[in-house]
Amino acid sequence: MQSLKALLEEGILPSIGGDVWSQGGISIFGILVYWLDKDFNYHERLLGAIPFSNVRHTGDELEKATKTACADFGLGEYCQAGDNIEAADTVTDYIHGTVSDNASIIVSGWNCFDGHECCDHTLALVVKGFLEHPVVKKVFSKLRGMTAHFNHSVIGGNLLKECQRRHNMSESKPPQDNDTRSGWGGACKQSCWYVHNQLAIQMYDVENPLKASTAVANPDGSVYKTHQLLPDEWSIVREAMYLLTCAKTAVDLLQYTKKYERHTVTITNEAVKEAREVAYKDLCKRVFNDLMDCKLEDFAVATLLDPRHKSFKFKYAEKWMRGRFTKKLAETWANGIYTADWKPKARQGANEAGPIQRANTDVATEANFLASDSDSEEDELEDGPQQPDQFEELRAYLEMPDEKSRC
């Protein structure tokens, strides 16, 4: 813990992440603290895995548990007033920021900290809306039943491998869907596997009609008879695969849900269109229209400091928040953060321009990602006070070409 202690002495603060995990009547609240040391080595420590019953499942209790765990770790002080005990609460002064899911309990419990909800979790909620459409949900229930059959039936598994060999495919069984919370990860793996093994599955269904109709149990306990997927059902699996694999970023997901003909032939399945429209509207609401200015500021600066995307040349970036998500504005915001929080203070009496004010936290209702290209409205950006020598290193970094993604 010497590295963290040394950073705290310099005024550099760690961040925390947390989540409440519930399953089978058990609820655990986990808190993780992480930081970079002077040599840019990443460190993380588990502050606590705390049982969280229904009685304690409130924002206030979550805040108390978080602050207690942080204080026990040496990040500030926290105790409630009691007999001959004065209240103390300095934990927030020792935390740089937080990352959590979008659940209302943790959002309200961590409202005292600066931080954001996890972007991946937000996209997972958008995708969940697609997967919960009745027709799409029925198809994936069918896939789970088929998956259970191939993974638990020795005969079925061997016959599947024989079909795969005939088509020169790699021998494999469909991955089981263990992602029970969002459905994103498990559904993505399953849809990809079935699309890539469609010929082998169809051969299996034709040659083994009795084996293919074996009754199996779904994860929810219902009994389902596996049988061949119908043409419309195969089209739903393919569309789901495209959407789920596009859900790596908000921009990619938005392009796919908006343009029904993209990546595939024109979709004739009305259920898929409806499901994509649900995902599209939810995405626009969560990521674009309801995004607070203070969060947009942090996203813009984080993008500026990402060597893969610092040029802001990814598709549709110029439309986000009616053109406000720009490299120029990100540099202005980064300048303001540096001036307010990091720049060495001038000696008393010296003239120094005041820091740029951080964006307010009002919901940016004027932001609309659906604005047409012909919309002439533009936000006027005013550059803050510039210091000629404070950003030389940043300017040199920005002049370098973007790095290629290693993903």
SS3 of 285-345: the string is: HHHHHCCEHHHHHHHHHHHHCCCCCCCCCCCCHHHCCCCCCCHHHHHHHHHHHHHHHHCCC
First vs last C-alpha separation in the chain: 32
Q: What domains can be seen in the chain, in order of their start residue?
A: 2-117 (3.30.420), 123-288 (no CATH), 293-344+354-399 (no CATH)
Contacts of 52 (CB under 8 A, 6+ apart): 20, 27, 28, 29, 61, 62, 65
Angle of helix 198-207 relative to helix 154-166, nearest 10 degrees, comes to: 120
271: part of which helix (H) or strand (E)? helix 270-283
Report mean pLDDT in 10-residue bins for the chain, 407 residues: 76 87 81 86 88 79 91 89 79 90 85 84 84 88 86 86 88 76 75 90 73 51 59 85 78 67 51 84 79 79 86 68 76 81 56 42 37 39 49 78 70
By the 8 A CB rule, do 276 and 130 touch?
yes
Between CA 342 and CA 96 the distance in angstroms is: 13
**Per-residue pLDDT, 142:** 86
What are the helix (H) ranges across 47-175?
A: 59-72, 104-109, 119-131, 134-152, 154-166
Distances (CA, A) of 282 to 12, 227, 269: 37, 34, 21
d(CA 297, CA 325): 9
What's the one-letter identity of residue 180? T
